[in-house]
Amino acid sequence: MAILVDKNSKIIVQGITGSEGSFHAAQCLEYGDNVVGGVTPGKGGQTALDGKVPVFNSCAEARAETGANVSLIFVPPPFAADAIMEAAAAGIELIVCITEGIPIAQMVEVKAYVETTGSRFIGPNCPGILTPDEAKVGIMPGFIAQKGSVGVISKSGTLTYEAVHQLCSEGLGQSTCIGIGGDPIIGATMRELLEMFEADPATDAIVMIGEIGGSMEIEAAHYAKDNVSKPVIGFIAGQTAPPGRRMGHAGAIVSGADESAAAKKKLMAECGLIVVESPADIGRTVKSTLNK
């Protein structure tokens, strides 16, 4: 069991004929993914990845021909917003956009549109999703993870990898790992993913990695307090960041007192989450929590 993607997911790659798209699509295929097609306007009828994957002109065409239910997007920033909305318009159930640098104004439009469809959207500017031994949809290196029962949600790609490493070092595998991205406007939120992990019988604990800026972690903590029975281990990056200065991600900027690392950590602890001070503490904290 997993959330969002598994071995039965049928994946298309938008931008598969570009350098990034072809490289990472090949990595996904090698991991064992069912990559059923690619999309590049004007190149329909061709093949990619040494003839292994058919290329279509549009998401609608790819879905009709392959039954695809997941789209992985490696389209350049000027065209990525349209690519996301095209996938949603085609009825793709899950859309994962890796592209970074999409203007915020465009993402406001994208988010509003996707919410009118039946699609779920992860990203942009994210590493994607990894369900160990089943599906890799994005750029996460599959070899770092192992199958298990700890769900991982993270704004940071690098800290996703670090959390997985710490868990594996303690002999703990993962049910699904999700990098949601750190832009100001993103698709699926921590609260939504907590709900999904809570409903997943194969997930016994959840790691939630946030950062300064915005209110997503606060909303997730309030939700977890009343709705999540599984232990949630949280970490907030950016503890030494000065107010008003962006740190790394476009969304990582403190604009209010309750958006600082200290304020978020305090609120999370008050809501019953187990807050760690360092990513190095994640693995052993999860292990000790599960062994109680």
DSSP state of 242: P
Paired strand residues for 210: 236
CA 153 to chain CA centroid, Å, is: 7
Query: How far apart, in whole angstroms, are the C-alpha atoms of residue 130 and residue 142?
Result: 7
Task: Write down the catalytic residue from 24, 165, 222, 249.
Answer: 249
The C-alpha torsion from 53 through 86 and 58 to 67, rounded to 10°, is: 50
Dihedral of the alpha carbons of 166, 170, 173, 175, in degrees to the nearest 10: -60
- Find all residues with CB under 8 Å of 73, minimum gap 6, and list them: 13, 14, 15, 80, 83, 84, 87, 95, 96, 97, 98, 99, 123, 124
Minimal CA–CA distance to 40: which of 247, 25, 132, 276? Answer: 25
Query: What Å distances lie between residue 165 and 76, 96, 172, 174, 236, CA to CA?
Result: 30, 23, 9, 11, 18
Q: Could you give the CA distance from residue 51 to residue 37 in angstroms, rounded to a whole number? A: 11
C-alpha atoms less than 13 angstroms from C-alpha of 244 in its C-beta half-sphere: 0
Residue 249 a catalytic site member: yes
Q: Which residues contact 143 (CB under 8 A, 6 or more apart)?
A: none
Q: Which residues contact 112 (CB under 8 A, 6 or more apart)?
A: none
List, by residue number, the catalytic residues: 249
